[in-house]
Structure 1
Amino acid sequence: MAKAIQRAPVLGPAFIRLLARFKDDAVSRAAPDVPERLAQWFDWNRAITLSRALDNRAPPPPEGPAFDESQDAECARIRAMLTDAIHADIDMTPPRNAPAAETAAQAAFAPYRQHCLKQQRSMQIATGKLRGRLRDMLARQSEAKAQLAEVDAVMEATLSPREHNLLANVPALLGLHFERLHDSNIATPTDAPASDSPTTSSGPWLANFRQDLRIALLAELDVRFHPIEGLLAALRTR
């Protein structure tokens, strides 16, 4: 009896392991070298800007509210709102102006892709505003924290474009995952005309995909909140 091929586990954050499973291709078997990867993302201009943020006094913070429990609660409220949107029912109306689908699976995936893009946009806008507001509050607490806020601003400006490009791959990977599940579980009935498309409206595979979609979006939400949690921890420290 032939032995099943054992895949080497993908090392790295849970979100990366999840996306590797959707792609059905463990791209890297070794743990990522974070310093080396960051060095590739920093050009000399960004490196100089970061060095100045670390060595120089931060500029005066803008006027605004101080951090208190209400701000902490607002962060929790925004995260809960984004989480509820991810768990909400998916609008299955075919998107307008969607590119022509080449296969039945691609056409069936279109509403899910639209849902994914909508949630990603909401997360990006909400977390971006929240991060900037918390950073301003941090800069008002002390000179040392103002310097930390300046470093965070440089890191956001440097890494956000890379993060945006990487997260833009999530809908495509989910699409590949959907197509594999679709092609493996949907068969055209033998008594149906050859031109008829197989149904994609039910089946355990579709419920599993919906759950995978929500898990992926929740994992992305965790990633987007990492810097926010770091700012909150610094704000709570006196």
Structure 2
Amino acid sequence: MAKASTRAPVLGPAFIRLLARFGDTDLPRTPPVLTERLAQWFDWNRALVLSRALDGSLPVAGDGQDFDDAQDAECVGVRQSLVQAIDADIAPASDYQPYRQHCVAAQRAMQAATGLLRGRLRDMLARQSPAKARLAEVDAVMEATLSPRELMLLARVPGLLGLHFQRLRDAGAPSRAGADAPDDFPATPAASPWLARFRQDMRMALLAELEVRFHPIDGLLAALRTR
């Protein structure tokens, strides 16, 4: 009888739980306190910039394009196009390289699209009122401070998916030290249950990453919709 896993369940967002499973690692049951982690990420220069954004005089709302239903619909369209890129079909392969390329391409598309969208929404927010202009200024400081660390951490996703791919393939393939593969073992990657599971897991991971990348955008949209 297989021994039951003694690993403690991982707490946190779906994206973190997925990456922990793919990496076969245990994470702390109690995540670090947010304020303590932010204090480690902010150097004194960034802290001064954030302080000025929070405590300085309210910026003057500028001129430019206003946020409206068309802009809201465009945001929905950007998100849908990124989901379609994630769902783009890949020819089944027993080697991880095509899937790595797909993962990296999807990440680059997410980074480019969400970066442009976030900047445009922030500009629109700054034009609505002085108070919202301050919020936009704070968001700009947070993006400049946290984005490098975010990119560094997200860059590990293809590697973790590669480890997950290897484990599933090793568990699903017949032993190469023994006789020929049994008659019921899939002859092509497309028919392999382990590969179908991996493809679904990769899709879930990329969709979860998309949700993470859209968190600040969703916050800006909520502020823009509030009059």
TM-score, normalising length: structure 2? 0.90
Match in the other structure for 1:20: 20
Q: Deviations over 1:162-188 (max 9, x none)?
A: 000000000000000000001111123
CA distance in 1, matches of 2:162, 2:115: 26
Match in the other structure for 1:144: 131
CA distance in 2, matches of 1:19, 1:163: 14
Match in the other structure for 2:184: none
The code of the aligned residue for 1:161 comes to P
CA distance in 2, matches of 1:159, 1:227: 11
SS of 1:25 mapped into structure 2: coil
Cα drift, residue 204 of structure 1 = 0.7
The code of the aligned residue for 1:177 comes to H
The code of the aligned residue for 2:113 comes to A
CA distance in 2, matches of 1:147, 1:126: 24
Match in the other structure for 2:223: 234
CA distance in 2, matches of 1:82, 1:91: 19
Match in the other structure for 2:156: 169
CA distance in 2, matches of 1:158, 1:91: 39
Equivalent residues of 1:92, 1:112 under 8 A apart: no
Cα drift, residue 37 of structure 1 = 0.9
SS of 1:175 mapped into structure 2: helix
Percent of aligned pairs sharing the same letter: 68
Q: Deviations over 1:77-109 (max 9, x none)?
A: 00000011111102569xxxxxxxxxxx7xx00
Equivalent residues of 1:10, 1:17 under 8 A apart: yes
CA distance in 1, matches of 2:110, 2:2: 46
Match in the other structure for 1:221: 210
CA distance in 2, matches of 1:222, 1:22: 18
Farther-moved stretch of structure 1 (112-121 vs 32-41): 32-41
Is 1:109 matched with 2:110? no
After TM superposition, the structure 1 = structure 2 runs for residues 15-94 of structure 1, keeping only pairs within 5 Å, are 15-57=15-57, 59-60=59-60, 63-90=63-90
Is 1:131 matched with 2:84? no
Equivalent residues of 2:117, 2:217 under 8 A apart: yes
SS of 2:30 mapped into structure 1: coil
The code of the aligned residue for 2:26 comes to A
Cα drift, residue 3 of structure 1 = 5.3
Cα drift, residue 27 of structure 1 = 2.5
Equivalent residues of 2:41, 2:146 under 8 A apart: yes
The code of the aligned residue for 1:113 comes to R
Match in the other structure for 1:8: 8
Change (3 A) 1:61 1:114: farther
Size of the alignment, in residue pairs? 220
CA distance in 2, matches of 1:144, 1:166: 32
Let me know the Cα RMSD of the aligned residues.
2.0
Equivalent residues of 2:190, 2:196 under 8 A apart: no
Name stretches of at least 5 consecutive residues in structure 1 with no aligned partner.
Answer: 94-104, 193-197
Cα drift, residue 9 of structure 1 = 1.1
TM-score, normalising length: structure 1? 0.86
